[in-house]
Chains A and B, each alone.
Chain A
Amino acid sequence: MLPSRLWRRSPAADQRVAADPEPAPATAACGVPFDGLVTFYSSFHALRAESLLLRAGHAARLIPGPRDISPHCGTALQFRYEQNEAVAALLAIRRVQIEAIHHFRLGRLAEEFG
């Protein structure tokens, strides 16, 4: 074990660190699970898409890209599939490069705990 003086943070730093990056809510709204997924080649585009969707009032959440759907990018974006057309149009207009849009729900375990 390292001597504690080597790793102890100052109380001020402790406080700052306590404000960890918040995970996004697991469901789209009122417990409705996300059932749409956008996959990307580049994580930059995933981040762009998230910010554009949220700003346009869509529910959206970034998740680790499910490998069974796409091996390409580490990050994918969940959304409500009923908004599929609006989302596709928004991303196309803002020139976000996507791999594909899928009708996709996480497995039961991931949906329950993620």
Chain B
Amino acid sequence: MLDCLERIGGSPGRSGHRMAVAAARVVAETRVALGELFNIDDPSRIVLTKNVTEALNQALYGLVGQGDRVITTAIEHNSVMRPLRHLEQKGAEISVVPGSPDGALDLESLALALERPARLLVLTHASNVIGNVLPVAEVACLAHAQGIPVLLDAAQTAGAWPVDVQALGVDMLAFTGHKALFGPTGTGGLWLREGLELEPLVRGGTGSNSELELQPDFLPDQLESGTLNVVGIAGLGAGVSHVLACGVGTIRDHEGCLGARFLDGLRQVPRARPLGPQDAAARVGLASFNLDGVSPSDVGLILDRRFGIMCRIGLHCAPAAHQALGTYPVGTVRFSWSAFTTEGEIDAAIEALATIARG
């Protein structure tokens, strides 16, 4: 990113001089690296956005109109639920498939919801509250049998769990850069399958077709108006290259080991009440729990001030998920770990929780 700021500094696609070309090259390389990571044949169908929220908004508002029906799940992040509730006010119909108390998706209710026609099914790859991974390939298969395309929110999985658009069989993939792709904040993107057309959320300059006052109709330009966050995209490209060099499988194994260690440790902590499946192999690198008798906000405050351990407490932008888990409105304490987390850090976290619980 420093290199990009100091040496490149051009505006991609806006000129043919060397700095503009260098900037366009940074963006193109990032797109190609993302294509490799997600097994996408045609990287020009990856649109770069400022986060997964923008990508999800582009997909939802770009596809769903008045009278359209959208199916989703009760464990979605607000980045899906809020646009959907707004679309509902504008005349769309939203069907929410309930989650079970252990955070899993109720596949029978899903099959029932799929019996009526719908414009789209949107779901998360993994719950950001308890970390369980949803059976997306199976769900996509059911949806496609009814001719319903699938939009996947891979915020929690991209980089940390295999995300292969062909194996999963999804039609659109939204991802954020600043989590397991190790990009900076303010980066993300949306991939859409060939044949899918979206109405642009934003229109404006693209550096292409400049003689026309109409928005270009080809990707990625059609959905990428305005100067891109080239510096951030350079960082995203470096992060994705790191993930590709390590291998998602290796990262996944590391996070799985840390998960097992954390869950084992948590079982020894008095008054700890873990949530969701207790099998570390079935979840991404996060876990939610509560300590009986201590509010999540107190746990978070003590962890930060006394132990220098940062976690997220509360509802995690997913109120319906907490309702299904029975942890609404107080929420939970959520820990997460990544490829860079060590076993020693997990042990220190468990030690700190035990100290608080013995309080």
Q: Which residues of A contact B (CB under 8 A)?
A: 13, 16-17, 19-23, 41-48, 51, 62-65, 71-76, 95, 97
Q: Which residue of A20, A51, A74 is within 8 Å of B20 (Cβ)?
A: A74
Q: Which residues of B contact A51 (CB under 8 A)?
A: 28, 32
Residue B115 lies at the interface, judged by CB distance under 8 Å to chain A: no
Query: Would you call A43 and B12 a contact (CB within 8 A)?
Result: yes
**A42 adjacent to B13 (CB under 8 Å):** yes
Q: Name the distance in Å between B232's Cβ and chain A's nearest Cβ.
A: 17
Cβ < 8 Å to A, chain B residues 1-43: 2-3, 6-8, 12-22, 24-25, 27-28, 31-32, 41-43
Q: Are B13 and A41 neighbours in the complex by a CB distance under 8 Å? A: no
Q: Find out whether the CB atom of B22 lies under 8 angstroms from the CB atom of A74.
A: no
Besides the known contacts A16-B3, A21-B19, A44-B27, 4 further A-B residue pairs in the complex with CB atoms under 8 A apart: A21-B18, A51-B32, A74-B210, A75-B13
Q: Please determine whether B7 and A46 come into contact, CB atoms closer than 8 angstroms.
A: no
Give every chain A residue within 8 A of B220 (Cβ-Cβ): 42, 44
CB <8 Å contact, B24 and A20? no
Q: Which are the 4 A-B pairs with shortest beta-carbon distances?
A: A64-B16, A43-B13, A47-B28, A21-B22
Please report which residues of chain B, range 206-227, place their CB below 8 angstroms from some CB of chain A when the two chains form the complex: 206-211, 216, 218-221
> In the bound complex, do residue B210 and residue A71 qualify as a contact, i.e. CB atoms below 8 Å apart?
yes
Residue in A16, A42, A44, A65 whose CB lies within 8 Å of B16: A65
Quick check: B13 and A73 within 8 Å, CB to CB?
yes
Contact A21 B21 (CB under 8 A): yes
Q: A54 to nearest B CB, angstroms?
A: 12
Q: Would A41 and B17 count as touching, CB distance under 8 A? A: no
Are B208's CB and A72's CB within 8 A? yes
Can you spell out 6 A-B residue pairs with CB atoms less than 8 angstroms apart?
A: A42-B44, A47-B25, A47-B27, A74-B14, A76-B16, A97-B218
User: How distant is the Cα of A48 from the Cα of B3 in the complex, in angstroms?
Assistant: 22
Give B contacts to A, CB under 8 Å.
2-3, 6-8, 12-22, 24-25, 27-28, 31-32, 41-44, 206-211, 216, 218-221
> Would you call B208 and A74 a contact (CB within 8 A)?
yes
Contact of A46 with B24 in the complex, beta carbons under 8 Å? yes
Instruction: Name which residue of chain A comes closest to B221, CB basis.
Output: A42
Please name all residues of chain A whose beta carbon is closer than 8 Å to the beta carbon of B7 when the two chains form the complex. Answer: 16-17, 19-21
A72→B22 CA distance, assembly (Å): 19
CB pair B208 A43 closer than 8 Å? yes
Q: Give bound CA distance, A20 to B6, whole Å.
A: 9
| Nearest A residue to B16, CB-CB | A64
- B209: contacting residue among A17, A23, A72, CB under 8 A: A72
Contact B207 A73 (CB under 8 A): yes
CA distance A72 to B212 in the complex (A): 9
Q: Is the CB of A64 within 8 A of B15?
A: yes
The answer to whether A21 touches B32 (Cβ under 8 A) is no
Give A18's nearest chain B residue, CB to CB: B7
Q: Which residues of A contact B15 (CB under 8 A)?
A: 64, 74
A residues less than 8 Å from B16 (CB atoms): 62-65, 74-76
Given contacts A17-B7, A48-B28, contact A42 B216 (CB under 8 A): yes
Residues of A within 8 A of B22 (CB): 21
A67 to B52, CA, bound (A): 37
Asked whether, in the complex, the Cβ of B41 is within 8 Å of the Cβ of A95, the reply is: yes
Measured between beta carbons, the chain A residues less than 8 angstroms from B17 are 64
A69 to chain B, nearest CB (A): 12
Give B269 Cβ to nearest chain A Cβ, in Å: 48
* Docked-complex contact B44 and A44, CB < 8 angstroms: yes
Which chain B residues border A41 with CB–CB below 8 Å?
208-209, 216, 218, 221
B44→A20 contact, CB < 8 A: no
Say yes or no: A44-B18 contact (C-beta < 8 A), given A72-B209, A97-B44.
Answer: no
